[in-house]
């Protein structure tokens, strides 16, 4: 798949974090990367705190393994850029490790972000057969095979995100279980922006009974 360029031939860069947002919710991607909205929740604050160590750039060498923290990477071919939490280098093999505060979800949104990092490292000339998601909640690494299928999904998602950013269009809210954990829920208002129901505008200003609020 050839990435779509702007009229002047430039390729709009997609942040690697947007890959995870897109896999989680298209509307969340647009809220963050088009509208510039960001909301903190207990989960995002925990994430920031647990990232403190890996956010400090640094390099260590031990027994043939070079570990670099907070490594900027990019792909000129696919228009991606971002920062890897940790990359371990052994010879020509690079292994990205992405830190996540919650429990690991196999084949979940974090895998796509990790594979985006892998795509950048592949373009830089390294072999990247494997990456890891480190779950802070579980205190363990989960291996993720960097398969051709996963890389293809990254390219597809990057192209779809580029289209979303160019259109400046907010997709309808999904209004499902994911919204309960979403830090943007108060800005998104999924109950009234899911496109499934039409309420009179006055309803927006009528408080619902306490029992119906989702905590």
- Window 116 to 175, contacts with ligand SF4 (CB under 6 A): 173-175
- Of 18, 19, 27, 119, the one binding ligand SF4 (CB under 6 A) is 27
Question: Is position 71 an interface residue for ligand SF4 (rule: CB under 6 A)?
Answer: no
Of the pair 153, 185, the CB lying nearest ligand SF4 is at 185
Of the pair 31, 146, the CB lying nearest ligand SF4 is at 31
- Of 94, 118, 128, 182, the one binding ligand SF4 (CB under 6 A) is 182
Question: Is position 112 an interface residue for ligand SF4 (rule: CB under 6 A)?
Answer: no
- Of 71, 112, 179, 191, the one binding ligand SF4 (CB under 6 A) is 179
Q: How many residues bind ligand SF4 (CB under 6 A)?
A: 14
Contacts with 110 (C-beta within 8 Å, 6 or more apart), sequence order? 20, 98, 100, 104, 133
Q: Which of 75, 164, 82, 90 is nearest to 127 (CA)?
A: 90
Question: Is position 178 an interface residue for ligand SF4 (rule: CB under 6 A)?
Answer: yes
Of 7-15, 24-32, 66-74, 75-83, the segment contacting ligand SF4 by CB under 6 A is: 24-32
Of the pair 107, 186, the CB lying nearest ligand SF4 is at 186
User: Closest approach of Cβ 185 to ligand SF4, in Å?
Assistant: 4
Contact between 76 and 9 (Cβ < 8 Å): no
One character per residue 29-48, x = contact with ligand SF4 (rule: CB under 6 A): --x-----------------
Question: Is position 190 an interface residue for ligand SF4 (rule: CB under 6 A)?
Answer: yes
Residues near ligand SF4 (CB under 6 A) = 25, 27-28, 31, 173-175, 178-179, 182, 184-185, 188, 190
């Amino acid at each position: 798949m050839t990435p779509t360029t702007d009229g002047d031939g430039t390729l709009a860069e997609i942040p690697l974090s947007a890959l995870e947002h897109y896999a989680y919710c298209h509307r969340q991607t647009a809220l963050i990367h088009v509208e510039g909205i960001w909301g903190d929740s207990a989960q995002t604050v925990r994430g920031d705190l647990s990232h403190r160590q890996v956010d400090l750039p640094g390099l260590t060498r031990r027994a043939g393994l070079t570990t670099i923290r907070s490594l900027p990477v990019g792909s000129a071919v696919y228009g991606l850029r971002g920062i890897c939490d940790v990359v371990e280098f052994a010879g020509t093999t690079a292994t990205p490790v992405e830190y996540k505060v919650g429990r690991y979800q196999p084949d979940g949104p974090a895998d796509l972000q990790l594979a985006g990092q892998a795509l950048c490292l592949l373009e830089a000339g390294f072999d990247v057969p494997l990456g890891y998601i480190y779950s802070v909640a579980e205190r363990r690494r989960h291996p993720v095979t960097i398969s051709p299928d996963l890389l293809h999904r990254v390219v597809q998602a990057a192209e779809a995100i580029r289209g979303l950013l160019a259109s400046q269009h907010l997709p309808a809210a999904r209004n499902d279980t994911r919204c309960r954990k979403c830090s943007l829920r108060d800005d998104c208002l999924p109950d009234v922006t899911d496109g499934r129901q039409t309420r009179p505008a006055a309803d927006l200003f009528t408080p619902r009974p306490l029992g119906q609020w989702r905590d």
